[in-house]
Structure 1
Amino acid sequence: MPLVDPDDPNAGFLAGLLAADPAEVSAALRTAPVDSVELRLRRVRAQLELSQEHDAGVALTGLEAAYSDDWRIVWYRGLHALATGDRETAALSFDAVYDAFPGEPAPKLALGVCAEVLGQLDNAAEYYRLVWATDPSFVSAAFGLARVLLCSGDRAGAVRALESVPESSIHYTAARVAAVRARLRQRAPYDALLGDLAASAAQVERLGEFGLDAVRRERLRTEVLGSALDWVLSGSSGAPPGHNRPPLLGSSLDERGLRFGLERSYRVLARLAQRGEERIELVERANRFRPRTWV
């Protein structure tokens, strides 16, 4: 979002609304001491966040008539166009801002989003890569780059993009969770998955050190173990003989061991479940994975 002009008469008033809920912001804006362009732009933003696209469009038309040379109105027109599905207008709006501020990363990021929703994956990847390479504070560029690379079939590139998010980022955990899923989701079980399974398992174990909560950790374990079970049942493509296979998340890398591992994880999730129906479903799932035994 564009920074608020410090010389605007409502600059101090708007500074107190930065972390507020959109509905609270909308109500608070009606109590502003005076009218100003920044107040009206903040109202447009609140309307977009509340899915009031029609009201936002009317407000922008008024702003365009009153402040035709203000680039921020062009920016918000781009946001409004994205919200209403007018992708071409969004791209044109952000391109105009990019022409005015070619060194700023935000217009490049916005153009990356537009290219992505328009299906121009190569262009989107180029914008996202440029932003991420020049300003690591724009972590959404790394996620965007991973998305378009995954859509383009470059799974390894998507994983590299997600794993390039540094430990110092507050989005580090989310990026590593996404990297695990990028490695394994929508993979054919007959692929040679052993390397990706091992890397995903190591990542899941490490995520516990970075504060990943128990529910998400166990759900991620079930995803890794479930992919491993499908891979084993399909013939374990690319794997060494059974006695040379390393364990995976504490489970032996064979059907029996993986079923026991999945059963354990689903029972942990059942104990952590907040609702009775969810708990019953998870226990039933654990029972379905449990291998046949004499006891």
Structure 2
Amino acid sequence: MSTLTTRIRSTGRPGQALLAAVGITAALLVTAPPAQAAARDGVCQSGEFCLYYNSDHAGSVSDFAGSIDDYGATQPECYEFKGAGAGQGQCVKNNAASVWNRTGGSVTVFYNSGYAGDSQTFAAGAKVNLKAALKNENASHRFGSGGGTGGTYGAPNTNPYPSATTVAPNATARTKFVDDEIARLTGERECYVGGYRDYQPSTSNHNTGNALDCTISNAIGSYPSAAQRDQGWKLANWLRQYAVRLQVRYVIWDGKIWSVARSSEGWRTYTGGSGVTGGHYDHVHVSIQNPYGD
């Protein structure tokens, strides 16, 4: 048995049983933490990235200490402008006009949620207006020079294996190839088909060996740190970018789903589960193109 086969078929690692069981009890788990963070006080301080409601750093300010993959569109869930002045209390999404990067590194603002679409990167110390394409058209930002679809991961090889099925915990050759490319190019090595799931149809992606769950947080059932969340988005966007080459069908991460069939819609809200694991906040799920397409 190859090293890859041994790794991909393993179901005894910590948290794997919980991952299988959570599909039954996902609705009972706690929901994601609220968007607002206590440290955000509407004052642009050293170490923060700040968005302003008006151009030339006027109006209300919204200050951040980390990456945000989706500002949110409506109250009370959205990140809002907190400082005094015009725009106070309004959602940041599609309402920011200028920025001040007081962090020690670059920060990129994106047109779409999930660090996707048109973007503009601001060097440390930059205090400028957003470009025309992003002024009042902004949905996420990411700390660091990486980000955007695919991040800094290299291009994978083309998946040579035909569409097929097997029975979990086995993986099809097509799925094994994706797992191998993930490990080779991204460094992620906690991806598993998992055991057969009696509570899912026999034709489901996991049960037919056509899906992987890649653990991102410290353990299944726990929320990731800010750095781990960024790591998850980097993997998810890489899978999205190379979906055709890898034979990916859809990806779920951080309460969002992207699919080849609806690729023009970008990352959509995932409604198939709730809680840490049901909402896919602790692991990235990737389904592979297969005969059933479930």
TM-score calculated relative to the size of structure 2: 0.23
Tell me which of the two structures has the higher relative contact order, counting C-alpha pairs closer than 8 angstroms and 6 or more residues apart: 2
Flag the structure with higher helix content: 1
Task: Specify the structure having the higher radius of gyration (Cα).
Answer: 1
